[in-house]
Amino acid sequence: MKMDVSRVLIPREKIDEMVERVAGQINDFYGGEKLVVVGILTGAYVFTADLVRKLDMPVIVDFMQVSSYEGTESTGNITIKKDVSLDIKDMNVLIVEDIVDTGRTLKALKEMLLERQPKSLRICTAFDKPSKRVTDLVPDFNGIVVPDEFIVGYGLDYKGLFREFKDVRAVEIKE
């Protein structure tokens, strides 16, 4: 089995345009209010960094690492590997994710964080794959809708590899 990651699905220029657009929507929505941005590790670290540099408000950046998979299937039951390091009660919180597909993990994470009584809780994703959605979760700030293909680059990986690509590429398995 050989993997081919040479086909660029989303060039860097389109990603840069998306970050500008999404940051503009977030700036308009929060109107300068302080915001806690919670990037979801590891995939969202690149998008989180690019996004916060475009925000026009006081921003606190924190990260969470969660797992909801058994093998290759998402269970929707999340395990916290790294939690936020501050109390989010009465704060505006924005979860930043790399990609939303089934929505199970984010739905469970959102429910868990809402129990901590933030002032508001919204979700932002760089890439959205609604064709795979099995929940009613809809990101509040949505980057680029992607087709039902496995993608890597711009922080997204395959077994830890390919996060370093500046663009997003489709993974093709060749026998």
Instruction: Tell me how far apart the 2 most distant CA atoms of the chain are, in Å.
Output: 53
Cβ distance 36 to 94 under 8 Å? yes
Number of domains into which the chain is organized: 1
- In the chain, % of residues over pLDDT 90: 85
How far is 106 from 85, CA to CA, in rounded Å? 19
45 φ, ψ (degrees, to nearest 5): -65, -35
The tens digit of pLDDT for each residue in 154-171 reads: 999 998 999 999 999 999
Between 79 and 115, where is the model more confident?
115
Residue in 50, 98, 101, 128 annotated catalytic:
101
Q: Would you state the pLDDT for residue 146?
A: 97
Please tell me the distance from the alpha carbon of residue 69 to that of residue 55, in angstroms, as a whole number: 32
Single-letter amino acid code for the residue at 117: Q
Q: CA-to-CA distance for 150 and 171, rounded, in angstroms?
A: 6
DSSP code, position 151: E
With contact defined as beta carbons under 8 Å apart, do 54 and 112 qualify? no
Q: Return the pLDDT at 74.
A: 61
pLDDT recorded at residue 76: 62
Q: What is the pLDDT of residues 52-92, one digit of tens each?
A: 999 999 999 999 999 876 544 566 678 899 999 999 999 99
- Give 120-140 pLDDT, tens digit per residue: 999 999 999 999 999 999 999
**pLDDT, averaged across the chain:** 93
> 21: domain CATH number?
3.40.50.2020
**H runs (alpha helix) in the chain:** 12-30, 45-52, 104-114
Helix ranges (DSSP H) in 34-171: 45-52, 104-114
pLDDT (0 to 100) of residue 70? 57
Q: Which domain holds residue 63?
A: 2-174
User: What is the structure's pLDDT at 173?
Assistant: 84
Q: At what angle do helices 12-30 and 45-52 cross, to 10 degrees?
A: 60
Mean pLDDT along residues 47-56: 98
- Which of the listed ranges 88-97, 102-111, 157-166 does the model predict with the highest average pLDDT? 88-97
Q: Annotated catalytic, 101?
A: yes
